[in-house]
A and B are shown apart, each in its own frame.
Chain A
Amino acid sequence: MLHIKCPHCGMRSQNEFSYGGDATVKRPELNKEVTDQEWDNFVYNRVSPRGKHLELWQHLSGCRQWIKVERDTATHEIFKTYKANEEIA
């Protein structure tokens, strides 16, 4: 079970969080024309890397904030966590 540092609450066990997928995916702007390919990339296509991955988690049973977690998908090492609006270095 992972140990995740919520930037708002501190170190918490994984079972307080829910996983939210790739954090680098950007939703196309509203009312903007997008091609099928662009839309498919937003909704479906993910890279699933082995190694460093920036991902979303929600601190569901805590402060309910969505946070960004930089995690190694192979080793589960967590390098850093960010608030939703924080600049990623």
Chain B
Amino acid sequence: MTQSYRIETGGLINRNKKISFKFNGTSYFGYEGDTLASALLANGVHLVGRSFKYHRPRGFFGAGVDEPYAVVQLYRNGETEPNIKATEQELFEGLEASSVNCWPSVNFDIGAINNFLKIFLPAGFYYKTFMWPKSFWYKIYEPFIRKAAGLGVASTKHDKERYEHKYEYCDLLIAGSGPSGLASAYSAAKNGAKVILAEDKPRYGGSLLTSDVNIGNQSGKDWADGIISELKEMPNVTVKNRSQVFGYYDHNMLVMSEKVSDHLPKTKKYHPNKRLWYIRAKEVLISSGSIERPIVFGNNDTPGVMLSSAAKEYLKVYGVLVGKKPLVFTNNDSGYETAIEFKKHGVEPIVLDSRSNPQSEIIDEAKNLGINIKNSYVVVAAQGYKKVKSADVATISEDKKTLGKIENINCDCICVSGFWTPTIHLVSQSGNKTKFNEEIDAFVPGVSKQNETTLGAANGVFTLEETLKTSFEKGKELSKKITEKDNEISIPNVVEKKYSKHDKFWCVPLPKGKSYKRFLDFQNDVAVSDVEIALREGYRSIEHVKRYTTLGMATDQGKTSNLNGLQLVSEIENKVVPSVGHTTFRPPYTPISIGAIVGREVGKHSKPTRKSPIHNWHEEHNAVFVDAGVWLRPRYYKRGNETLFEASKREAKNVRTNVGVCDVTTLGKIDVKGPDAAEFLNRVYTNAWLKLPVGKARYGVMLREDGIVMDDGTTTRISENHYHMTTTTAQAANVLSHLEYYLQLVWPELNVNVVSTTEQWAGAAIAGPKSRDLLQKLFPKTDVSNEGLPFMGYVEGDLFGVKARIFRISFSGELAYEVNVESDNGRFMWEKIIELGEEFQIQPYGTEALSTLRIEMGHVAGSELDGRTIPYDNALEGLLSKKKDFIGKRSLQRAAFVAEDRQRIVGVVPLDKKN
């Protein structure tokens, strides 16, 4: 294919580098610096998809983030991504894309039959029709509607790309690198402020890339390039392109998505695909510019109808003509800029201006160039199905209600300009109460809630001179507050053309006897008639009208449709726009890929994995691991072809007959120290603690204030004012917070300190009839006899030169001990136990056998303390002291907790006593 719509020279693309790509299976060429949209238009391709509801042909409407039509399925490096805007996707060698929402092909789409049934598919059609019979919804209606509607298809494969999160602080965050962003960044940077300047497009400069202005005796673009290269050199400035600030959250936290690799055929090694920046800024400058809004007319969704500013951008940035017989339909002076660009490139445009006699510099220039201008003229309807072939036009009366005789003009594209809508999404997200500006027929920022300032077109200021002046000053003023520096900046001279007033006209009336669809929302197929139905049926709130008609609810979030929707509602309701109000702007401003939001927190990265210091030994001995909270614990040690059941039975049996050893490092451990430690434990646990002697351990249960069991474990009195508390693996962190809460807030008079020692100690439980014999071998110098170390006793020992704590505690009903050593000596301890235990037929056992042993003994296990049970439910009521008060005691008197028919865990014994 030849690029028959590419002009000979001009544009910001690199004509020395040809790039090949495929769309719907056909190969094309573009240049480096093209977007998929500009490259397709250069090849004369205007049909890119089908619409959401009626499957009407779809082309290109914009040239950037506001694009409602051209969403495609993208294929890159063996992966696929749905709903990519062709206007934002940069071209790379080997790019492949296809149309969405059409079958079998974009040229012949079966679903287009909806277009002829459209009379049956008005707003609320689905709500009204697919209600009965109710049972049909899930099985028949919903799957059918989902298949017929919807856009791209998500990949079902694991995403191999990497996404990063970055946290950043700065003095000034500036969103948008147009004239106001550049000027404010420059003066703030000169004052030494830490500045981040973000631009969503690949090229910096915003409107300066396409406007015909002069700043300080340079073209707008040259001036922008100069500022950017100077900013890039400054150490206190971060300049980022392909980076969209999409959300403004509380306390000046903004989130920005940086597309790091989307413009490359393949992500570079060690690079992320996207990077999400969480930026906490002292001050935020919003220089997000404005988006042109369309004028509504019949069949205004036909491919070839597009925003006049987009046509200009395709021409000036990409050197692409969107048509060779263009019609420009405008209610303001912007359309003339586009017309002049066409004319300069040898294409004859016709301008239809809804105004009767507009006068301005730029109109004079157009007249001098000999451009055909028709005043008081409007486009009534576009003609053509897959591409504009002609336009029905007519004169319009001064009150904009009556059309003259309809004429037909031959054309291949209609460039429409209905004036400009400030991009106030971020402003509104920040909590700023926006206000309606009658002068420009749009909402602008009102009173700030957070430290945010809006500049330039986003603030409704459409002259470059004023924009630059206020932006330089604002950047200086805000940075001065932070850095206390005050560098003088000379504001450059500006040469620009003055605009005349726009026409408050946005919708062309229907000619008699015609029922053209006049679309408001191009992505969701919402027409003027749909909004009329919603209002007729009683929907009044703009939020309700939005949801009933789906106006502004598509992936473009109504960037080009919301304001016209509001105009229509206020017109029918005979209200003024501000009293109708706009719908809430919510983040994200534009779709953000789920991968970027998730970041690196996937799979094993979603939470830390904690391993005991004995972990490697377990691995070397065929342990099969299980997640226990954030810990990995051996579930069982597999021998040969053993199953889980066989292995755990063998391990448990060995504990009952010989001796077993289990890694209990993961148990939570808390040091409780201080003169009031005993009193504190007495309040925390349900049983009595005041009389526990030094060198003894006790089992305890603690409740929450609502009477529910929080945790259980043993606590040992190491010395007079020092207790060693153990918690379950899962509850360790919660118990520590719980203790801190009572010590810091409820009973600050208690002289007690708590600190986690979970990671300081490695632990091994040695259980079984032969455990004492083994213990004696491990600690030959320590008396571990029944008298020397009685049940629930505690002694310190010397394990071949390593200091150890020995507790005689059992959860299996067997004679059992727990040995703790400092973590670094964990593996040494374990290997000694295994080595010396060999003669006693020792076997390691995992959590499965541990639970078996606990259940056999009738002891509560973790799954019974599930945050829903009181002590009675787990047969723990024997541990409730009657003599003292404790946390949660009063709750146990509640009616439901003393009810006769409460469920309770009971032991089960086989009648034959064998199994």
Contact = CB atoms under 8 A, between A and B. Distances in A.
Interface string B879-915: 0000011000011011000000000000000000000
A84 B748 contact: yes
A27 interface: yes
A66 B739 CA distance: 11
Nearest to A4: B251
B253 A43 contact: no
B245 to A, nearest CB: 15
Contacts of B252: 3
Contacts of B745: 56, 66, 84
Interface string B735-761: 001001100111010000000000000
A61 B358 CA distance: 65
Given A27-B746, A31-B885, A85-B748, A1 B741 contact: no
Interface of B: 167, 249-253, 278, 280, 431, 449, 683, 705-706, 737, 740-741, 744-746, 748, 884-885, 890-891, 893-894
Interface of A: 1-3, 13, 18, 20, 27-28, 30-31, 34, 36, 39, 42-44, 56, 58, 60, 64-66, 75-76, 78, 84-85
A13 to B, nearest CB: 7
A20 B741 CA distance: 9
A39 B748 contact: no
Contact of A58 (B683, B740, B893): B740
A83 B431 CA distance: 30
Contacts of A44: 706
Contacts of B167: 13
A66 B280 contact: no
B885 A30 contact: yes
Interface centre among B449, B745, B748 (most CB of A within 10 A): B745
A78 B251 CA distance: 9
Contacts of B250: 1-3, 76
A28 to B, nearest CB: 8
Given A18-B737, A30-B885, A84 B891 contact: no
Contacts of A30: 683, 885
A60 B737 contact: yes
A34 B741 CA distance: 22
Contacts of B278: 1
A75 B278 CA distance: 20
A84 B748 CA distance: 9
Given A3-B253, A58-B741, A43 B280 contact: no
A18 B259 CA distance: 32
19 contacts: A1-B249, A1-B250, A1-B253, A1-B278, A2-B251, A3-B253, A28-B890, A31-B884, A31-B885, A43-B705, A44-B706, A58-B737, A58-B740, A65-B744, A66-B744, A66-B745, A75-B449, A76-B250, A85-B748
A78 B250 CA distance: 11
Question: What secondary structure prevails in chain A residues at the interface with B?
Answer: loop
A66 B884 CA distance: 27
Contacts of A58: 737, 740-741
A4 to B, nearest CB: 9
Nearest to A34: B890
A60 B734 CA distance: 11
Interface centre among B253, B705, B744 (most CB of A within 10 A): B744
B888 to A, nearest CB: 9
A64 to B, nearest CB: 6
Contacts of A66: 740-741, 744-745
A49 to B, nearest CB: 18
Contact of A64 (B251, B740, B748, B894): B740
A2 B253 CA distance: 8
Interface centre among B251, B741, B885 (most CB of A within 10 A): B251
Contacts of A78: 251
A44 B708 CA distance: 13
State the 3 A-B residue pairs at the shortest beta-carbon distance, nearest first. A3-B251, A30-B885, A76-B250
Contacts of B741: 20, 58, 66
Contacts of B251: 1-3, 76, 78
B885 A39 contact: no
